[in-house]
């Protein structure tokens, strides 16, 4: 009798221990998140477990990837590399709601900042402008420009909200500016919408049609719930509509807009654009900068046509209007045109095939693909090199690396790739071939390119491109 009770107790303790073991993991992770209890769910036996979001997130990510590649079934898509993006921030009354901490407005601003940096990183040839909606009126915060710092500074300086919000006014305001953009530029609007209503002075449907006619791609990220008019706007103009669940989701959603979208078909005529590649001014030379109208020492670029000095690249020359870029900028825009194919999900049954049986580790990070319980976890295979990758590597390869390490090693005969590499990078790649796997394992993304200080596979990063 006593024996059995003792045994029961022991079992219970065991169970408790198990639970503790589980809880430690997530407890530490989410310590600062004050809604940590929402990340719990009850399993079949009534124990509490952290919700396994990984599979869900991955499914969402794959859907995104698929929808992106579905739009471009042919293996080469045209993409708008030169984008003119207006970011509209809704600073109406609804932006002060505190369901995001500390407030929607602060979260929007914080993530807009991250987005602006990421955007210029991925689209060095593009320009951004900021517009705010307040008291039912739209104001320009900054004009179109290529400098992240000036946008961020302006954004952070003006954070207060009041009044209603008007989608129509914002669109009209943006339309006025975007309509004058030359035809090679891609016109886009990204609206970060906190409010759930839109108090408009006229018929918004007309404005939407106007935007559609001017080929302005409007995307909206909502902060609280789905609104019909936003959905309609995005559908009409070919943009994306999404609603954020929480802050991290909001960040994901906004960063989704950083890579260039596929170009609108009838808009994507090949166009030659005149560009200047300015030389860097000599160290210590003093000249009057044309953008700030003050004298500066060193650290500048000189327009090849009119010899004016500008502080930052890329930009348009204030004097002669020439687009000024540097070659790494061009190169960095390059990889969007040659995306790697989405990886195929591997069905657990495929493991029975003999030739694949040996692959039990991820080709990227060398982590085991088999879960502790000898259950194979979800993983994917590259359609090109047939190597297996874990989900983390899948996301990393598609979103940051833009190159499949397996294909790089196997496909050394791929002349197109080889030829686009200059000797330095080729050397790099050869080095990589040897220890790419080790590199992956040690630190997933810490091998910097000599030229662009960026991830290491930017084989276009040549100074003389």
Partner 1 sequence: MKFPIEDVTVYFPYDHIYPEQYSYMVELKRALDAKGHCLLEMPTGTGKTIALLSLITSYTLSKPQGAIKLIYCTRTVHEMEKTLAELKLLHDYQVKHLGPAAKILAIGLSSRKNLCVNRAVLESANRDSVDAACRRRTASWVRALAAENPDVETCEFYENYERAASGAVLPPGVYTLQDLRAFGKEKGWCPYFLARHMVQLANVVVYSYQYLLDPKVAGIISKEMQKESVVVFDEAHNIDNVCIEALSVSVRRQTLDGASRNISSMEQEIKRFKATDANRLRDEYKRLVNGLALSGNLADSDSWLSNPALPDDILKEAVPGNIRRAEHFLHVLRRLLQYLTVRLDTENVEKESPISFVASINNQAGIDQKTLKFCYDRLHSLMLTLEITDTSEFLHVQTICDFATLVGTYSRGFSIIIEPFDERMPHIPDPVLQLSCHDASLAIKPVFDRFQSVVITSGTLSPIDLYPRLLNFHPVVSRSFKMSLTRDCICPMVLTRGSDQLPVSTKFDMRSDPGVVRNYGKLLVEMVSIVPDGIVCFFVSYSYMDGIINTWNESGILKEIMQHKLVFIETQDVVETTLALDNYRRACDCGRGAVFFSVARGKVAEGIDFDRHYGRLVIMFGVPFQYTLSKILLARLEYLRDTFQIKEGDFLTFDALRQAAQCVGRVIRSKADYGMMIFADKRYSRHDKRSKLPGWILSHLRDAHLNLSTDMALHIAREFLRKMAQPYDKTGSSNKKTLLSQEDLEKMGDSSRDEMFFTHHLELAQKSAVGDVRTPFMLDLKASFQVNL
Q: List the beta strands (DSSP E) in 227-325.
A: 241-243, 275-276, 279-280, 286-289, 294-297, 301-302, 309-310, 315-316, 323-324
Closest distance to partner 1 from the beta carbon of 176 (Å) = 21
Closest distance to partner 1 from the beta carbon of 212 (Å) = 16
Helix, strand, coil fractions of the chain, as percent rounded to 5: 40, 15, 45
Bond prior to 248 in cis (omega within 30° of 0): no
Closest distance to partner 1 from the beta carbon of 225 (Å) = 4
Closer Cβ to partner 1, 345 or 422, answer by number: 345
Closer Cβ to partner 1, 30 or 287, answer by number: 30
Which residue's entry shows tokens 């959603």?
Answer: 253
Given its phi and psi angles, is residue 24 left (phi above 0), alpha (psi -120 to 50 degrees) or beta? alpha
Q: Tell me the three state secondary structure of residue 418.
A: helix
Residues 399, 62 contacting (CB under 8 angstroms): no
Closer Cβ to partner 1, 52 or 266, answer by number: 52
Closest distance to partner 1 from the beta carbon of 115 (Å) = 20
Closer Cβ to partner 1, 148 or 222, answer by number: 222
Closer Cβ to partner 1, 206 or 414, answer by number: 206
Q: Tell me the three state secondary structure of residue 217.
A: strand
Q: Is the dihedral of CA 170, 156, 330, 298 positive or negative?
A: positive
Count the alpha carbons within 13 Å of 183 in the hemisphere toward its beta carbon.
7
Closer Cβ to partner 1, 37 or 464, answer by number: 37
Which residue's entry shows tokens 């669940």?
Answer: 245
Closest distance to partner 1 from the beta carbon of 167 (Å) = 6
Closest distance to partner 1 from the beta carbon of 203 (Å) = 7
Say if strands 217-222 and 241-243 run parallel, antiparallel, or are unpaired: parallel
Bond prior to 314 in cis (omega within 30° of 0): yes
Q: List the beta strands (DSSP E) in 279-421.
A: 279-280, 286-289, 294-297, 301-302, 309-310, 315-316, 323-324, 344-345, 380-381, 388-389
Closer Cβ to partner 1, 40 or 71, answer by number: 40
Closest distance to partner 1 from the beta carbon of 422 (Å) = 43
Q: Tell me the three state secondary structure of residue 377.
A: coil
Closer Cβ to partner 1, 42 or 353, answer by number: 42
Query: Nearest CA to 239 among 190, 312, 183, 166?
Result: 190
Closest distance to partner 1 from the beta carbon of 100 (Å) = 11
Residues found near partner 1 in the complex (CB under 8 A): 27, 31, 34, 36-37, 40, 42, 46, 48, 63, 94, 99, 167, 196-200, 203-205, 222, 224-230, 232, 242-245
Closer Cβ to partner 1, 191 or 391, answer by number: 191
Closest distance to partner 1 from the beta carbon of 227 (Å) = 4
Angle at 380 between CA 379 and CA 382, to 5 degrees: 155
d(CA 126, CA 258): 11
Closer Cβ to partner 1, 123 or 242, answer by number: 242
Closest distance to partner 1 from the beta carbon of 202 (Å) = 10
């Amino acid at each position: 009798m006593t024996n059995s009770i003792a045994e029961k107790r022991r079992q219970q303790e065991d169970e408790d221990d198990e639970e503790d073991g589980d809880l430690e993991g997530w407890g530490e992770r989410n310590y600062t998140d004050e809604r940590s209890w929402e990340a719990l769910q009850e399993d079949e036996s009534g124990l509490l477990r952290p919700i396994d979001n990984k599979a869900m997130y991955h499914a969402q990510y794959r859907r995104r990837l698929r929808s992106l590649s579905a739009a471009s079934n042919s293996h080469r898509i045209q993409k708008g590399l030169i984008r003119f993006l207006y970011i509209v921030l809704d600073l109406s009354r609804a932006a002060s709601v505190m369901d995001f901490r500390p407030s929607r407005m602060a979260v929007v601003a914080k993530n807009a900042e991250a987005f602006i940096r990421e955007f210029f990183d991925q689209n060095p040839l593009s320009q951004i402008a900021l517009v705010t909606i307040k008291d039912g009126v739209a104001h320009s915060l900054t004009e179109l420009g290529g400098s992240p710092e000036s946008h961020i500074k302006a954004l952070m300086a003006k954070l207060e909200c009041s009044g209603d919000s008007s989608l129509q006014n914002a669109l009209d305001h943006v339309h006025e500016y975007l309509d004058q953009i030359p035809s090679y530029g891609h016109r886009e609007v990204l609206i970060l919408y906190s409010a759930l209503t839109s108090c408009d002075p006229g018929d918004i449907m007309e404005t939407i049609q106007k935007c559609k006619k001017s080929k302005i791609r409007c995307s909206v990220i909502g902060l609280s719930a789905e609104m019909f008019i936003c959905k309609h706007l995005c559908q009409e103009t070919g943009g994306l509509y999404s609603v954020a669940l929480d802050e991290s989701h909001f960040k994901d959603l906004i960063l989704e807009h950083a890579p260039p979208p596929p170009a609108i078909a009838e808009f994507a005529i090949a166009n030659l654009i005149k560009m200047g590649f300015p030389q860097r001014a000599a160290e210590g030379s003093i000249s009057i900068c044309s953008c700030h109208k003050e004298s500066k020492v060193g650290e500048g670029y000189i327009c090849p046509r009119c010899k004016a000095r500008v502080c930052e690249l890329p930009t348009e020359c204030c004097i002669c209007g020439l687009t000024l870029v540097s070659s790494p900028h061009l190169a960095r825009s390059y990889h969007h045109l040659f995306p790697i194919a989405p990886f195929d999900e591997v069905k657990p049954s495929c493991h029975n095939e003999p030739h694949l049986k040996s692959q039990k580790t991820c080709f990227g990070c060398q982590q085991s693909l088999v879960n502790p319980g000898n259950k194979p976890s979800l993983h994917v295979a590259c359609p090109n090199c047939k190597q297996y990758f874990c989900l983390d590597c899948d996301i990393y390869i598609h979103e940051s690396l833009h190159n499949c390490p397996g294909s790089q090693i196997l496909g050394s005969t791929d002349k197109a790739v080889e030829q686009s590499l200059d000797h330095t990078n080729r050397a790099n790649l050869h080095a990589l071939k040897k220890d790419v796997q080790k590199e992956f394992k040690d630190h997933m993304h810490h091998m910097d390119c000599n030229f662009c200080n960026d991830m290491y596979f930017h084989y276009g990063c040549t100074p003389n491109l």
